[in-house]
Amino acid sequence: MIEVINLTKQFLIKDKIFGVNKGVVHAVNGVNFKIEKGETLGLVGESGSGKSTIGRLMLRLLEPSDGKIFLEGRDISTISNKEFRKLRKNLQIVFQNPYSALDYKMTIEDILIQPLQIHNIVKPLEYKKEVLRLLEMVGLSAQDAKKLPHEFSGGQRQRIAIAKALATRPKFVVCDESVSALDVSVQSQILNLIMDLQEEFGLSYLFISHDLSVIRHVSNKVAVMYLGKIVEKGSVDDIFDSPKHPYTEALMSASPVPEPSRSIDRIKLQGEIPSAMNIPSGCAFHNRCPKRVAKCETVEPELIELDNGRLVSCHLYEDGRSKNES
């Protein structure tokens, strides 16, 4: 469904007063991945790792600095805006904040009719029927169509945002921290809804989150990002049950354990994630890595394929297996 090749995004920072260049933010650095039909790729990493930037690049809400984005084999990264407008209905997004994602002056009916009009999904005489179908799809009723957004709870607003995203009958949806602003009980309802809709319509998702329990619940595959690069990628079970990259190990060790009696060794990373304007040489993670070796400071590791399609970017795995294991 989706293939991303060498996706790169750089932001030029200028002084607001004098207009001189202050530097370049390397937000996304040569990212590659595929998402099959009906599959969910979970994207995890600390704040500032480039996750949301990737989501916006894939919908061309931002233009890539380099690289290719393919939708069902067609390169959509270089086509004109006029051509892309015809394809936009196939690519939708559910944003993080349900309170700002909906126009507070419009009724829910008008909000859902808008994408139907723009993309000619149904004939005007069928608008109201389609609105009712969308509301029922996300567990709301016909009576909700005439209400305004402020009359709904956060969970209900996120259901409406999902209905709006699905109004164009897309093939691919970016979920950018779509449940992080919701209570835990409401989160589970929305996550189950997202998964049910995927099964019913064969949707493909890029699910961006910092919540590892959410990622494990919804994803088939997981990609771990650090400073604009994917450092590990694999099946959800492989990543969570047997993380390989030291950064992935640290993330997993920080995840809450549902069994109080079970102890876990927490890996405490030193310092904070470096600035994307000044990425360290060699392995970008080396200044925080508890397993670093001298080579890590000067040589950038390649993304190496291990067993079962697992990809890891770490010098410990240069021969296809861990040097610690050998």
Domain ranges (residues) in the chain: 37-63+79-226, 248-256+265-326
State what percent of residues in the chain have pLDDT above 70.
Answer: 93
pLDDT band at residue 53 using 50, 70 and 90 as cut-offs = very high
β pairing state of 311-313 and 303-305:
antiparallel
pLDDT band at residue 318 using 50, 70 and 90 as cut-offs = confident
Q: Is the dihedral of CA 191, 39, 256, 270 positive or negative?
A: negative
What is the CATH topology of the domain spanning 37-63+79-226?
Answer: Rossmann fold (3.40.50)
pLDDT band at residue 196 using 50, 70 and 90 as cut-offs = confident
List pLDDT tens digits, range 211-220: 888 888 889 9
Q: Which residues contact 95 (CB under 8 A, 6 or more apart)?
A: 101, 161, 176, 178
pLDDT at 159: 86
* Amino acid in the structure at residue 318: E
Tokens of 289: 């890595």
Least confident residue range of 48-62, 108-122, 253-267: 253-267
State what percent of residues in the chain have pLDDT above 90.
Answer: 24
pTM value is 0.84
Q: CA neighbours within 13 Å on the CB side: how many for 127? A: 16
In this predicted structure, the answer to whether residue 104 has a pLDDT above a threshold of 60 is yes
pLDDT band at residue 262 using 50, 70 and 90 as cut-offs = low
- Segment 225-248 mean pLDDT: 90
